[in-house]
Amino acid sequence: MKKITFVLLLVSAFASAQKSALDQKINSIIKDKKATVGVSVLSFESNFKYSKNGDKKLPLLSVFKFHLASTVLDMADKGKFSTDQKFLIKKSDLLENTWSPLREKYPEGNIELSLGEIIKYTVAQSDNNTCDFLLRLIGGPKVVQQFMDSKGVKDLQIKYTEDDMHKDWKNQYGNESSTNSTVVLLKKFYDGKLLSKKSTDFLMQIMLATTTGTNKIVEQLPKRTPVAHKTGSSGKPDNILTVAENDMGIITLPNGKHYAIAIFVSNSTETERVNTRMVSDISKIVWDNFNK
């Protein structure tokens, strides 16, 4: 009994020292930066946790497309939709002056895409027009909120569409979450407690194929590291303030274990490169911490 107690104390002391070292390194990155930085890390197998400003509710920007995709796929699980089901995307659905790889490819619209393809555009390429198409399809942001509430997700608010956020940039603050809530949600997703196995695998593959944010959490990780992630970025809507520069995801380690990480940079007057580099540097420090 004494031996077991000693081992537990040793493990606890190691975890404490690990967190302290991680905290010092992360503090060295964010000190003197004119920004609020939220960081949360959750190891899936060891339950190691780290948090810096993890309880602060910060703007999500396009990270909320993960919450949206999950909501749509839950409806598919329940038989309301099928990922093979075709939908007509009209030219009127493809708004100008917004990030939309689909509009760039099909400027005239009037194309049929499967629901699965629309989700891929929304998540992997962060297309704002397909995002709002999905929101109209399911009944608006409130439906996303209701689904997340039903799954016990805390510290989350989803109120606005992408078009809402483009019409008034201050609406970008209306979709918000804490990084602590985000990593817990990712663990719930990974464990199959959010969606069916089929939908979980489908969304995981889409996130692994994300093409945005190559200068964020994936930038300094070894090539071919599996990173299932979703990014978010506001730019500087008033030419001074970056509302958010975000990334969150599930990372697979060389030993086959996993951790969730969420890094949200908010209300920053730093340059885009400084903001994204903070995300990238913090991600590398966390990776190194797990690979000692």
Give the neighbor-by-neighbor strand order of the sheet with 58-59. 58-59, 176-177, 156-157
Q: What is the pLDDT of residues 27-81, one digit of tens each?
A: 999 999 999 999 999 999 998 999 999 999 999 999 999 999 999 999 999 999 9
Total length of the chain: 292
Candidates 3.40.1390.10, 3.40.710.10, 1.20.1250.20, 3.20.20.370; CATH matching 30-290: 3.40.710.10
The C-alpha atoms of residue 51 and residue 94 are separated, in whole angstroms, by 39
**Stated pTM of the model:** 0.94
Q: What is the pLDDT of residues 135-155, one digit of tens each?
A: 999 999 999 999 999 999 999
What is the average pLDDT score of the chain?
A: 95
pLDDT tens for the 292 residues of the chain, in order: 666 665 555 456 666 788 899 999 999 999 999 999 999 999 999 989 999 999 999 999 999 999 999 999 999 999 999 999 999 999 999 999 999 999 999 999 999 999 999 999 999 999 999 999 999 999 999 999 999 999 999 999 999 999 999 999 999 999 999 999 999 999 999 999 999 999 999 999 999 999 999 999 999 999 999 999 999 999 999 899 999 999 999 999 999 999 999 999 999 999 999 999 999 999 999 999 999 8
- C-beta separation of 60 from 69 below 8 A: no
Nearby residues of 196 by Cβ (< 8 Å), 6 or more positions away: 77
Tokens of 21: 């070292």
DSSP structural state of residue 46: T
- Which among 40, 62, 233, 234 is annotated as catalytic? 62
- C-beta separation of 33 from 270 below 8 A: yes
- Which among 43, 100, 162, 176 is annotated as catalytic? 162
The C-alpha atoms of residue 244 and residue 262 are separated, in whole angstroms, by 13
- C-beta separation of 189 from 206 below 8 A: no
Q: Which residue matches tokens 């940039």?
A: 169
Tokens of 211: 């093409």
- C-beta separation of 235 from 242 below 8 A: yes
Active-site annotation holds for 112:
no
Please give the C-alpha separations between residue 211 and each of 12, 32, 74, 215, 250, in angstroms, as whole numbers.
Answer: 38, 31, 24, 11, 15
pLDDT at 217: 98
pLDDT at 1: 63
pLDDT at 292: 82
pLDDT at 10: 47
In the chain, % of residues over pLDDT 90: 92
- 3-state helix, strand, coil split of the chain in percent (to 5) is 50, 20, 35
Active-site annotation holds for 234:
no
